[in-house]
Structure 1
Amino acid sequence: MQCKAAVLESAPGPLVIGEIDVDSPAPDEILVRTVAAGVCHSDLHFMEGKYPYPLPVVLGHESAGVVEAVGDRVTGFAPGDHVITCLSVFCGRCDYCLSGRPQLCSKEGVLRPASAPPRLSRDGQPVHQFLFTSSFAEYMLVHQHGAVKIREDMPLDKAALIGCGVTTGAGAVINTAGVRPGETVAVVGCGGIGLSALQGAVIAGAGRVIAIDRVASKLDLARRFGATDVINAAEVDAVAAVRELTAGGVEHSFEAVGVASAAQQCFDMLRPGGTATIIGMIPVGEKVEIDGPSLLQEKRIQGSTMGSNRFRVDMPRYVDMYLAGKLDLDSMVSGTIGLEGINEAYDELKLGEVARQIVLFD
């Protein structure tokens, strides 16, 4: 099957719109017609060459769609099912999966063997699949353990946001950090993931939720998502401001920018016994430095991979929260585009003014 896709040919470089070939489903695979895909900052790291990836590759990883066909060993999916895809594809048999940490799965058997035809190709040559999804294409061919069936009354354009941003941001708060009712929280960066972390803190019952960004419009949006306080880091020292607001620091901080200096700020704004959770993708080679004596105050810094998710459980719950009015996805959408507008969308993302743009497919 041929379909239109956005291909990264060189890095740094733009995405090139063109035709690719998508193979038929293998026994454990499902073919999904892509309905919507979020424009996530993570892809930009690869476009800018800050993270390496084999080329050429179809980017995109935050998506929702409709099942078109299934392999003969697939269970739980049928043509017509509405699904969210997830890069946290799991094998179900490695130590991580069996110990309840499928987000760290070793991915045994979720890729096709080298002797098999590639899932994606062009002119007879393989095209790499990005993070097991490649959702900047009209069709996705994924392992059955890389998708979850959802309610059909869930709008698929909003469901796409759950595929990465919501699961990563809210999950970091609820799953990774385990924020408890009444605790103080600071979120550095109010893009799609940061705003999801803010909502996760509100859902968890945090007593005070402080939003930090350098763009005033994003701070206005953060208030809509439940921030009790906002700090414009372009105008004041964010660490000093947090310490002043909280009489010494927060119990939890979350870095949602992907910058080493922001991660260090998150650690510095903790009170004794606090935890800094790093969500953003800090570029390869950058280091985070912390003051050694601070560790004697039992301060902690930790990473979070896709919100420590168990997406087959978490994502349907986020869907229920949205439909019950407890999770605001509508306000996260800055605009919608067609696939042809993908490079312009990433140019806007670089400016830092937008939360989430969504690619809609016909």
Structure 2
Amino acid sequence: MRLAKFIISSMEPILAEWEAFARTLMPEARRMSSLTLRDHAKPILTAIANDIDRSQAASQQRHEGLPVKGSTDYETPAAAHGALRRTSGFDMQQLAAEYRSMRSSVIKLWMAQLSDDDNWSLDEVLHFNEAVDLAMEQSIISYGEEVSRSRNTFLAILGHDLRSPLSAITMAGSYLHVATTLPDGKQAQIATTISRSAATMARMIKDLLDYSSTRLGKSLPLNPVRGNLATLCQLSIDEISSAHPEKQLMLSTSGDLEGVFDPDRVQQVLSNLLNNAVQHGAIDSPIRVSLKGGPESIILQVQNFGPPIAKEDIPSVFDPLVRIPTDEVSQDNWQDTSLGLGLYIARQVMIGHGGTINVESDEASGTVFTCVFPRQ
């Protein structure tokens, strides 16, 4: 059987080996779905098979003195694969290793089914290797471009988003420097401004470090210990309530809420979800937090009512550096306090715990973020 035809007819065994190898590349990959691990593997292989056929036809055309048309069908899925592998936390060496493994798998499986009567040529293997090399090149270029974009984003964030809290601290310090006397309560007000602005900057810097860790090929560090999610939820609610006393936060719990997780990271998820609910929820509507412990998982939900997230925006809610305001006020407030990384980091924390996070939003049910923590 010709190599190109074999690739198409034996697609599932090849994809199975692709997935099995990808699952061994890093610990987080063991918990990823088949869809995530395979992502663009099938269109890449299909394009490679088509490229082999075209290359053989081109060789014949050259032999006959006919013009040859080029092919770049592999570029789009291969480039997308490179970008998605970076998003999933694979490094560039692991990306290249996938192609090396795929090359070996295809040749091994193909040679195993060849018989003495099969008609094949060395040109097929040469064309196959050339197509694989070109696809890998496109994936690596795309991966590198995404890394460069991330680095440029850091500079833009540092130059813009940190400016507001830094300016507040600078102005407060200047006022203290030139003022000879302060009105009653003014010193406490200035101290509060400095403290709040410094906390905002610290949170932004922490988010940037976490973003850097995940987007440049690493996973978030976790220190899982046994604990109780209800306790962590109450701590986060108390913290948000003290900062926003005008908001009503309600907690309901049921079932066994003991589990193994990183308490600091879980509180980071809770803080991001609760701050998001405060920022985008209706002022006169409570924020409801629920915990339900089941035999296989613990489900955390944060619900708020207010302008719903548009359907077309929901797929990008957990993307980094995305800000999806529901009104003009939200947009103005968010620019001063958020880098657009909170929900992205929340998703990375959930991935690190082997769990999931998703969102549903409509007028009737409000906006509900659901986190599922599987029992270890």
Find the structure with the greater CA-based Rg.
2
Larger strand share, 1 or 2: 1
TM-score of the pair, normalised by structure 1:
0.25
Larger helix share, 1 or 2: 2
TM-score of the pair, normalised by structure 2:
0.24
